[in-house]
Structure 1
Amino acid sequence: MKFTKMQGIGNDYIYINCFEEKVQNPSELSIKLSERHFGVGSDGIILIEPSDKADCRMDIYNADGSQAMMCGNGIRCVGKYVYERGIVKKDVLKVDTMSGVKTLYLDVENGIVVSVTVNMGRPDFQTEKIPVTYPKDRMIDEPVVFGATEYRVTCVSIGNPHCVLFVDDVTKVEIEKIGPMLECDKIFPHRANIEFVQVLSPEEVNMRVWERGSGETWACGTGACAVAVACAANRKTGRSVTVHLRGGDLHIKWEEKTDEVLMRGPAEFVFDGTIEI
């Protein structure tokens, strides 16, 4: 089977062109290929497929085999892949996902996609839509006890569930301990992505992320969007911020007129390969 490894600021996936070949048991395949010692090594696999409602479709499987609704870094790489490989030769294209159809705007120089802006849609703060089990219909700066510790959290959906916590220093967060505890807490019926954010200025933040199904990753596009929206909702920043992640920077803008979130960042090829499965 042919595959392509790509990364968006360190969030790496294995991409399979399903215009050319079909994949059986993608969950099992993702577990096998994602293993960094015995497989190719990645945060999961992404299938690029034909779509009857968009230019193409992406289906995402995490490293543990679970299916993801949306991946902001992954969808930028899909845009670069389909453009540069000649599948969809348009600088504005639509990609179907489990979270709906997303519009991508490609910044192309000499035939190379140098950055991608994605319209991630409108954030949803409704607890039942995220989903999160909580007595209020919104969860913005709410006190919640996880384990024996009380945290103040903001929960939002960017096509998938996110829980944002503000901290003084992201480098000091015991993410391997706190991340899985919050991800799998009973208040999140479908688990959740957990973001830790340190506000540097009204236009700039640091963040780390514990991704549902993958653990700590170098970057998470939907997580960066969730952080930007949570910062603005808590009046800690403006509506346009640069988010510094372990793998690099994303630029997020929460449009006031449309309520839509725009995410801009890079996408890179790593290598092509073949593997026996």
Structure 2
Amino acid sequence: MLRFEKYEGTGNDFIIFEMSELEGLQYSLLAQKVCDRRFGIGADGMIVVSPSTVASIQMIFYNADGSLATMCGNGIRCFAKYVYDHQLVDTKVFTVETLAGIFNVEIIENEEATSQVCVNMGRPNYFDSSVPTLESGEPFINQVIEIDQVPYTVSSLFMGTIHTVLFVEEIDEFEVVRLGSAIEKHPLYPMKTNVNFCMVIDSNHLEVVTWEKGVGMTLACGTGSVACAFLSQKLYDCEKKIVVQVKGGELVMELLGDEMYMTGPTTFICKGEYLD
């Protein structure tokens, strides 16, 4: 029996295990099993809590399809509440090692069920190996790709994981599924891409729906919302502090210097034992 806890951050939900529970198990296979919403516990991803030699603690993250992910914005907030509530860290400000690097997090408000967590998400990387390149050496911004012989303007960047953003006048969930799944697997993205549909409401407010690679359409995506905030400031002169409305709630993005800070809720849902 494997002890687990389940958390959600603006509707993005995760199963959390401690590494000591999983000795001898294949994490990728376990993620597929526990994240299954009919035959498992059900979640968008699986998180493993691990010791770190370079940070306060380490987060290992798997998508629902069993693929290893470099980073998850909503996941790291849920992870932060878990390790703080379980006294695996002893301060409200600490560092988390991920495959995308080390992130600074802070527990802003901590209640038994729901907490507010702030994460320094850093700077955008327009030239990561997972992002398409232009011969001119310019970032892949406002570039036209074709889906079913129809042109779409997209921008791609790396925020701990690759994100592609389409700015739209309205969000149509049918198009999110149709275009999201097509762009995710477009030949330009051999490592696949997350796809964000972003509507600029005004200079302080965005609405975002994300098609996550390896998962599908989710209620929220933290790294995707950060990508949309950076691009909306760059392309639409949006303010340095932006409220991002996602299907599962709200995230607040604030640009301090050249780094984006994301603040949002995380809620404990339940705990139990999984019979593997």
**Length-normalised TM-score, structure 2:** 0.94
- 1:189-200 → structure 2 map (5 Å cutoff): 189-200=190-201
Structure 2 Cα separation of the partners of residues 154 and 106 of structure 1: 32
Equivalent pair of 1:134/1:187 in contact (CA under 8 Å): no
Task: Tell me by how many angstroms 1:131 deviates.
Answer: 2.1
Change (3 A) 1:19 1:262: farther
Change (3 A) 1:224 1:155: same
The reply to whether residue 232 of structure 1 matches residue 233 of structure 2 is: yes
Q: Secondary structure at the match of 1:31?
A: helix
Change (3 A) 1:109 1:73: closer
Q: Secondary structure at the match of 2:189?
A: coil
Equivalent pair of 2:133/2:140 in contact (CA under 8 Å): no
Task: Tell me by how many angstroms 1:261 deviates.
Answer: 1.2
Equivalent pair of 1:8/1:266 in contact (CA under 8 Å): yes
Change (3 A) 1:189 1:134: farther
Contiguous gaps of at least 5 residues in structure 1: none
Amino-acid identity (%)? 34
- 1:75-90 → structure 2 map (5 Å cutoff): 75-90=76-91
Structure 1 Cα separation of the partners of residues 241 and 103 of structure 2: 20
* Alignment size in residue pairs: 274
Q: Which residue of 2 aligns with 1:216?
A: 217
Structure 2 Cα separation of the partners of residues 60 and 110 of structure 1: 25
Give the residue type in structure 2 aligned to 1:81. Answer: Y
Change (3 A) 1:35 1:251: same
Give the residue type in structure 2 aligned to 1:188. Answer: Y
Q: Which residue of 2 aligns with 1:276?
A: 275
Equivalent pair of 1:55/1:95 in contact (CA under 8 Å): yes
Give the residue type in structure 1 aligned to 2:211. Answer: W
Contiguous gaps of at least 5 residues in structure 2: none
**Length-normalised TM-score, structure 1:** 0.94
Q: Which residue of 2 aligns with 1:179?
A: 180
Q: Secondary structure at the match of 1:267?
A: strand
Give the residue type in structure 2 aligned to 1:194. Answer: V
Structure 1 Cα separation of the partners of residues 37 and 8 of structure 2: 15
Change (3 A) 1:136 1:40: farther
Tell me the alpha carbon deviations over residues 60-88 of structure 1, each in whole angstroms, 9 at most, x when there is no partner: 11111111110000000111011111111
Change (3 A) 1:157 1:209: same
Tell me the alpha carbon deviations over residues 136-179 of structure 1, each in whole angstroms, 9 at most, x when there is no partner: 43112222223311111111110111100011111355122111
Q: Which residue of 1 aligns with 2:118?
A: 117
Q: Which residue of 2 aligns with 1:3?
A: 4
Structure 1 Cα separation of the partners of residues 60 and 236 of structure 2: 35
Q: Secondary structure at the match of 1:170?
A: coil
Q: Which residue of 2 aligns with 1:103?
A: 104
Q: Which residue of 1 aligns with 2:132?
A: 132
